[in-house]
Chain A
């Protein structure tokens, strides 16, 4: 085996990966179109929102990963930063797709049923965006939602989303750009600059990400609220992003790239996945326990809906996959260091957090008409293809797969635990 790492290695995006990801996009578009044409618009929209949100979250957490490594002055991860940087490069497209889905969902209306009444409502956010909800005297008037209208109104909602996503996009773009410039010029100047903007990003991200998840997901059930919801979503996005990063690296290694990544780096990523899966359970339970214990009707309605027969199985499966899975599979040191086991865990968790978002989104959109069939699968496959295609394409644009002038690069290449 070649023990000398080529620092100029470049990713070439061709062959099977390209064909299959394009095919997956085509399948996704086709099945989503069939969903719309067979009158299941709301369900298709709910799935598009789910995957659009998942896609954006994974890319945003890629920026978060880079920023975290710079702020912690971490050395171990220096040689694998190109992968999260590629996620950051895809974020602008992900953000635009999410915004298009949300704007379309807010503006297109259809006949549906809201709390047992026939109504004409938008496909998404029907509870707070239905016509007349905030107009006194209208038959749809809802004093609770009217009281929230100062925050939950379409212009402010869209401005928030655009500002937040715009900020994440800019920071992600800058971090990737600084790293590329550093490759050409060397020195510590760009490292210090990355450190500064990473610190700024983490502060901005920490305050805006909860609001971002309140807007996109929690406002689907606008009567209900939970202050834990933002952290719960953060844990979900961070675990799923770490799983995607690890899976990407494992697959790249299997195809002969990034041979400098050793079992030790994968062990570290496995530790992060394990730790943050436990953190996810912790915040999930923190949200559940308070609602369960206080037992106030307007709060417990959230879990009551998820306790109905059509959701109960998914509700339990969510905890089994996302908590018991990592707890039992990758707690031991040896399983984190066994690539096949780690790979299987990553796939399990990527599916698991899809299910997590499914349980957050579906009761507030399709309600009891929830199902799992070609629409769910098709939209998921389409977005996986889209992510794979865009991410690998962004990765192939980097001049080298390793940030070769990163000040901590030698530490990362000799990483050993």
Chain B
């Protein structure tokens, strides 16, 4: 029993990496994840990654911001301390719209940013979890969970055939922990 946890196929070229994904999928090897230094068109469809739900989070945060400030303004200016401003009604909705709009935008944008940080485990001061540091520079990395049934040699061959410049067998998942 080997102590290998993850097999990494390291590529110089994104097209060869895409061939590598094809080769693995043809042989029913489950892919754990793929790391690239830049976004690659069509890779999410190929790997079967679901559409991001960040937009729904932004929508909910926007609704929350709008409701919060509208309630606050209502409490201040209508309920608790009604003031006559320019002879308008106490509950003058048009006056409330600019601030409601601004808070909607504020909550939606901050909420979206923090949701993204939360979902991707990015916090200030936290060391990023990386399987191979070169994936943040100029290499394209396919990671395969080593607990599959196919012999590791076969996986090596598939990756090499597709043009991997290096195949690594890692004993630990990440090279960097906090």
Measuring CB to CB, which residues of chain A are less than 8 angstroms from any residue of chain B? 285, 288-289, 292-293, 295, 331-333, 414, 416
Contacts and interface: CB of A to CB of B under 8 A. Distances in A.
B94 A292 contact: yes
Contacts of B59: 331
Contacts of B41: 414, 416
Nearest to B41: A416
B55 interface: yes
A295 B89 CA distance: 13
Contacts of A293: 86, 94-95
Contacts of B130: none
B125 interface: no
Interface in B70-91: 86-87
| Chain B CB within 10 Å, residue with most, of A288, A293, A414 | A293
A331 B98 CA distance: 21
A416 B42 contact: yes
Given A289-B97, A295-B87, A331-B59, 16 more contacts: A285-B94, A285-B97, A288-B94, A289-B94, A289-B98, A292-B94, A293-B86, A293-B94, A293-B95, A295-B86, A332-B55, A333-B51, A333-B55, A414-B41, A416-B41, A416-B42
19 contacts: A285-B94, A285-B97, A288-B94, A289-B94, A289-B97, A289-B98, A292-B94, A293-B86, A293-B94, A293-B95, A295-B86, A295-B87, A331-B59, A332-B55, A333-B51, A333-B55, A414-B41, A416-B41, A416-B42
A338 B65 CA distance: 30
A232 B27 CA distance: 59
Contacts of B95: 293
Contacts of B42: 416
Interface residues of B, number: 11
Nearest to A416: B41
Contacts of A292: 94
A331 B63 CA distance: 14
A295 B41 CA distance: 54
Interface string B38-70: 000110000000010001000100000000000
Contacts of B98: 289
Interface string B93-124: 01101100000000000000000000000000
Contacts of B51: 333
A334 to B, nearest CB: 9
Contacts of A332: 55
B12 to A, nearest CB: 23
A414 B95 CA distance: 47
Nearest to A417: B41
Contacts of A414: 41
9 nearest A-B pairs in the assembled complex, by CB-CB distance: A416-B41, A292-B94, A289-B94, A416-B42, A285-B97, A333-B55, A295-B86, A293-B86, A289-B98
